[in-house]
Amino acid sequence: MPNPKRRWSKSRRDKRRTHYKATISALGTCSNCGEMKLTHRACPSCGYYNERSMFIPKS
């Protein structure tokens, strides 16, 4: 089996990891109120999903 001859240095490893960025891709804006919301979930602030009200928010 092919194997790496030697371990990559901390510098090489860390340079590769500069491309690893913390992103929350499943985050969009609500089409009803414009708040940040998770996609494929009802909006937590207005309760709308797919242009329809799913629940009435308490506040």
User: Which of these, 15, 51, 21, lies nearest to 33 by C-alpha position?
Assistant: 51
3-class secondary structure, 11: helix
Lay out the site mask for Zn ion across 40-59 (x = CB under 5 A, - = otherwise): ---x--x-------------
d(CA 56, CA 15): 48
Query: Pattern of binders to Zn ion over 1-40, x per CB under 5 A?
Result: -----------------------------x-xx-x-----
- For binding to Zn ion (CB under 5 A), which residues are involved? 30, 32-33, 35, 43, 46
